């Protein structure tokens, strides 16, 4: 496995790979790798000749400096995990390498910026789009793999690819969970023992929401969800929405035959977690 820190060397190596007519599968990450990441990588490796993974904690997608500072960085053990999935190249640039000049481009995703993650983390999706566009330019993958765990981010990346007519297939991968249902996340490492025990409540509640969706209205379900989490003093919900699964726009009512996604963000202690569940009505 090649471990590369510069854009120039990455381009050189990948230019050679493309010249050999090999397809490139790409998984962008911020490191602190877990099974959720590795699942994307195994799939990317299976569906392509050459696997590239990036590890870069992207400062411009954090709207909270404490979150950025406390984001886990575990490069050594990440590299071992990358070897285990037969990654071919890991791109691990410094901030200066990724942003030699101040960012001037401005991405606007319209209503996606105004709801759920977009609303609660101003500037977040702009930062995601800037880094993903740069990474796609450097790596020029045939396929890029993203987790449904970050459902709205997936929609933003799809919109970016459409907007900029980028020659890359975006592949959506299901959320990988712990045995107790908690969605795997690098941030889970920051939960203390009690918080970790509490955290699966989010997914358990989402599963109940999915059952309720067949018989209750959206406002009733929202009320139920709010009440459900009120029972846990150490969970502070930030939002709960049921959104159209294609547009990601929150809805007030659901129709049979359509697909929705119930999304939640909540703080447990100092850790902000998100999760979602797909509802096929
Ligand atoms: P991150 O390192 O958190 O930026 O995540 C990198 C990629 O891994 C993103 O496409 C995430 O959606 C995906 N990912 C993170 N956690 C999971 C999970 N539990 N299951 C599936 N994909 C995930």
Atom of ligand 1 nearest to the CA of 183: 19
Enumerate residues lining ligand 1, CB below 6 A. Answer: 29-30, 36-37, 40, 146-147, 149-150, 173, 175-176, 183-186
Ligand 1: which residue has its CA nearest to atom 10?
Answer: 146
CA dihedral angle for residue 8, residue 12, residue 13, residue 16, rounded to 10 degrees: 160
Q: What CATH number does the domain located at 186-276 have?
A: 3.30.1300.10
Residues with active-site annotation: 37
Q: Shortest CA distance to 182 belongs to which of 161, 166, 196, 165?
A: 196
Q: Which two tokens stand for residue 230?
A: 């009120």
For residue 93, the CA-to-ligand 1 centroid distance in Å is 19
Helix, strand or coil, per DSSP, at residue 146:
strand
Cα–chain-centroid distance for residue 110? Answer: 19
Residue among 25, 56, 149, 177 whose CB has most ligand 1 atoms within 8 A, to mutate: 149
**Ligand 1: which of 127, 147, 189 to mutate, most ligand atoms within 8 Å of CB?**
147
pLDDT for position 39: 98
Atom of ligand 1 nearest to the CA of 175: 20
Cβ neighbours of residue 51 closer than 8 Å, sequence gap 6 or more: 24, 25, 26, 27, 41, 44, 45, 85, 86, 87, 88, 89
Give the pLDDT of residue 90. Answer: 98
Q: What's the pLDDT at 107?
A: 93
Please list, in sequence order, all residues whose beta carbon lies within 8 angstroms of the beta carbon of residue 134, skipping any fewer than 6 positions away: 98
* pLDDT value for 101: 94
Q: Specify the pLDDT at position 64.
A: 86
Return the closest-CA partner of residue 82 out of 59, 52, 102.
52
Q: For the domain 2-173, what is the CATH code?
A: 3.40.50.620
Tens place of pLDDT per residue across the chain (281 aa): 999 999 999 999 999 999 999 999 999 999 999 999 999 999 999 999 999 999 999 999 998 888 899 888 999 999 999 999 999 999 999 999 999 999 999 999 999 999 999 999 999 999 999 999 999 999 999 999 999 999 999 999 999 999 999 999 999 999 999 999 999 999 999 999 999 999 999 999 999 999 999 999 999 999 999 999 998 989 999 999 999 999 999 999 999 999 999 999 999 999 999 999 999 99
Residue 57, pLDDT score: 97
pTM: 0.96
Cα angle 180, 82, 166; round to 5 = 95
Angle between the N-to-C axes of helices 124-139 and 7-19, in degrees from 0 to 180, rounded to the nearest 10? 50
Closest CA to 127 of 108, 155, 148: 108
Whole-angstrom distance, CA of residue 241 vs CA of residue 219: 10
CA of 146 to the centre of ligand 1 (A): 7
The domain locations on the chain are 2-173, 186-276
């Amino acid at each position: 496995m090649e471990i590369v820190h510069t854009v120039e060397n990455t381009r050189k190596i990948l230019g050679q790979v493309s010249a050999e007519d090999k397809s490139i599968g790409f998984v962008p990450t911020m490191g602190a790798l877990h099974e959720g990441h590795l699942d994307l990588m195994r799939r990317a490796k299976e569906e392509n000749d050459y696997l590239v993974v990036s590890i870069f904690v992207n400062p411009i997608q954090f709207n909270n400096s404490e979150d950025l500072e406390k984001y886990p960085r575990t490069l050594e053990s990440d590299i071992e995990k990358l070897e285990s999935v037969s990654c071919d190249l890991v791109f691990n640039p410094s901030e200066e390498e990724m942003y030699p000049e101040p960012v001037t481009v401005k991405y606007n995703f319209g209503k996606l910026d105004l709801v759920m993650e977009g609303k609660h983390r101003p500037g977040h999706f702009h930062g995601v789009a800037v880094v993903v566009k740069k990474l796609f330019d450097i790596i020029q993958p045939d396929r890029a793999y993203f987790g449904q765990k970050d459902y709205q981010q997936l929609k933003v990346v799809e919109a970016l690819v459409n907007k900029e007519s980028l020659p890359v297939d975006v592949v959506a991968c299901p959320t990988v969970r712990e045995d107790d249902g908690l969605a795997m996340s690098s941030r889970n490492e920051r939960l203390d023992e009690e918080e970790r025990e509490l955290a699966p409540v989010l997914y358990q509640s989402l599963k109940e929401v999915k059952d309720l969706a067949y018989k209750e209205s959206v406002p009733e379900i929202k009320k139920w969800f709010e009440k459900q989490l009120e029972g846990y003093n150490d969970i502070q919900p930030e939002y709960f929405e049921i959104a159209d699964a294609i547009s990601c726009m929150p809805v007030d009512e659901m129709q049979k035959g359509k697909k929705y996604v119930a999304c939640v963000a909540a703080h447990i202690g100092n850790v902000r977690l998100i999760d979602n569940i797909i509802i096929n009505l």
